Copies of this chain bind each other. A is one copy, B any other.
Amino acid sequence: MKNLLKRYRKFQLRLSPQQNLLYGFLTYTVLGWTLLCIPFFHKQTISALDNLFIATSAISTTGLVTASVFDTYNGFGQFVVLLLFQIGGIGYMTFTSFILLSRKSPLTHWHQRVLSAEFTMPKGFEIKDFLKSVIMFTLIIEVVGALCFYIAFTQAGVDHNFAIWSSIFHSVSAFCTAGFGLYNDSFEQFAGNTSINIIISTLAICGSLGFIVVTDLWNKITRKSHQITFTTKIIFAAITLLLILGTLVIYFFEPTVVAFEENRLMASFFQSMTALTTVGFNTLPIGSFSLSALLITILLMYVGASPSGTGGGLKTTTLTALIAVIWNRIRANKQVTFFGRVIPKERLSVATSTFILYATVLFAATFLLTLTEDLTLEQILFETTSAIGTVGLSTGITGTLTFWGKVVLIFVMFVGRLGILTFGLALLARRKKITSVAAEGDLAV
């Protein structure tokens, strides 16, 4: 066994950071799949493909499911699912690095490189400190979240014993923006419950904001630094504007929210929040949405969360870089500046490439699903965007997908979590020419 591990370590060291991430995610997915296939964890039978779908969905913190987690898996099985999205959420690399850290051995150069590829960070962040804050931050928020959930659930009349498990499960799920739930209608029954709306939103926003932002804010609060970074400011501005945009569109143009009366604004906000943070819980019936509400949700899911958080999507910083590119091109400026800062060309190139790759994979997946499924374009496009952004919202078609439809979505969720650029680099980059994606600082993409 020890020999095997040694050989694996040797194999790892010959790989590029991107290849390591690819094989790492693959390993965790296969491990999770194997576990979920064990009948001991099942309440009722489930196909191997559905187990693979759910394992990939959990590791990628997507939350799309082809079968109800609560009805299919017993308590132990549910715990396995929780474990998978907790691992996926903090990032398998952060996790393995934590194991390394807790053994007090120094981070190898290789691990530093791998981490840099997963979490693109502005210069000046120390990997070790970064990891410590990640773990502390995660534990504290999840415990506090679970306590709040417990109070809210028991107040809402949920059975005491179930409330304990439900609180832990949903707290981790919300913070990891996994969107896995133990209720088959997600949070539709709690649409009017203000406490639960606030708890989920806070957890999901904390998770999706990214550790960069939190570390940054923490340094500001503890007065280690006097100013928050440019990246943090950009992230806050982008999230605020996108949330306002989404909330307004759904508030004014989505007929189903009218029924919520005094909770209409809260329900509209929650829908925007769930798409943008890519947490994927829903309080509204997405299957009955109007086209306009579906499209604005698709836009928010496509943009997604912030870099180095638990959320997916294109990332708010990438969107910002794209806006900067376009604005400066139209203004015929020679340098790309944003709020007076020059954004490094490498960052811009990564941002535009990512956008194009996302659009390409999204189109390809949507096209393939039109071949395998008998559904409308909006249902398919919503599902593929949800998968690539690791969001987990659905118009309700996931359970009805054909064999090949599920295979396509498994691939899209996997690639969506890994990052399409990372995936491409892992498969095709030439040896010894790998350029660090997070090189020049300023704006993390």
Contacts and interface: CB of A to CB of B under 8 A. Distances in A.
Interface of A: 253, 290-292, 294-296, 299, 322, 325-326, 329-334, 349-350, 352-353, 355-357, 359-360, 363, 366-367, 370-371, 376-378, 380-381, 421, 424-425, 427-430, 433-435
21 contacts: A291-B376, A291-B380, A295-B377, A299-B363, A322-B356, A325-B356, A326-B357, A326-B360, A329-B349, A329-B350, A329-B353, A330-B428, A330-B429, A331-B430, A332-B425, A334-B435, A352-B356, A355-B356, A376-B376, A376-B378, A377-B381
Contact of A330 (B322, B376, B377, B421): B421
A298 to B, nearest CB: 9
Nearest to A431: B332
B295 A367 contact: yes
Contact of A430 (B292, B333, B360, B380): B333
Contact of A325 (B295, B353, B376, B425): B353
Contacts of A332: 425, 429-430, 433-435
B353 A326 contact: yes
Contacts of A378: 376-377
A370 B290 contact: yes
Most B C-beta atoms less than 10 A away, residue of A322, A329, A359, A360: A329
A425 B353 contact: no
Nearest to A292: B370
The count of identical subunits is 2
Contacts of A427: 330
Nearest to A291: B370
A299 B362 CA distance: 12
Contacts of A295: 363, 366-367, 370, 377
A425 B332 CA distance: 7
A14 to B, nearest CB: 17
B299 A429 contact: no
B299 A330 contact: no
Nearest to A296: B367
Contact of A377 (B367, B376, B429): B376
A406 to B, nearest CB: 18
A282 B175 CA distance: 52
A351 to B, nearest CB: 9
B331 A429 contact: yes
Nearest to A330: B424
